[in-house]
Amino acid sequence: MKVLHGISLEVLPGEVVCIIGPNGAGKTTLLRTISGLNRPSAGAVRFRGVDVTGSKPYQMARLGLGHCPEGRRVFQLSVEENLVTGFIPGRGKSFAALRDEVYDLFPILGERRGQSAGRLSGGQQQMLAIGRALMGSPELLLLDEPSLGLAPIIIHQIFEIVLKLAESGVSIILVEQNIDLSFQVADYVYALEHGALQCSGPAAKMAADPRIKDIYLPDLDAPS
């Protein structure tokens, strides 16, 4: 089934790009296409200027792509074992160095390193899912709805980390349904609807765009 139609998206080093759009818009499909989990029927994926269309997920990971999936998908293993699953040898840093970086970013994970991931709270599981993606030392990190179902204070902590990662030079594609949050952290925003790009632009410009309201609150303008 064709889900995405003619979408073109670009991310520069250290940039936070947000993809927003209602349920079923195609946001997850787009991320899965970038990371090689879905193969596009047309179009191309280029990473650092190289055509990587059709590459397998493990090949994309080796090139420096990290994917933190929708729903976290942590494994029923200990916290540290989950980090082991994300480690990709040969990307420059050792397992121990990357693990310590993750525990510095998320101290609670270090405290719970021997605990089963299934016993963590939702927010801690989200941190673990991000940490696992960081174990591949990514240059581009895909985050699929990291705020979903979490308390505002935890969301705030996670978004602080997102900004910190971007400042350190990691490029980020963030899928979000939380519009306010998206506009706070993004450099650039793409709005999807029905698998197509409705509008895109710098976050400040998009925040004032009436089309955003039309996508999210369409009934407000409809005749009663």
User: Exactly one of 7, 17, 28, 52 binds Mg ion (CB under 5 A); which one?
Assistant: 28
Length reported for the chain: 224
Both tokens of residue 97?
Answer: 């160095």
User: Exactly one of 25, 45, 61, 79 binds ligand ATP (CB under 6 A); which one?
Assistant: 25
28 touching ligand ATP, by CB under 6 A: yes
Min dist. Cβ of residue 10 to ligand ATP (A):
20
Both tokens of residue 136?
Answer: 């591949």
Cα–Cα distance, 80 to 147 (Å, whole number): 22
- Which residues face 6 on adjacent strands? none
Site for ligand ATP in 162-201 (CB under 6 A): 177
Q: Which of 182, 179, 211 is nearest to 198 (CA)?
A: 211
User: Exactly one of 13, 24, 89, 118 binds ligand ATP (CB under 6 A); which one?
Assistant: 24
Both tokens of residue 212?
Answer: 């955003």
Q: Which stretch binds Mg ion (CB under 5 A): 32-40, 66-74, 151-159, 196-204?
A: 66-74
Judged by CB, which is closer to ligand ATP: 73, or 119? 73
Cα–Cα distance, 32 to 196 (Å, whole number): 16
Q: Which residues bind Mg ion (CB under 5 A)?
A: 27-28, 70
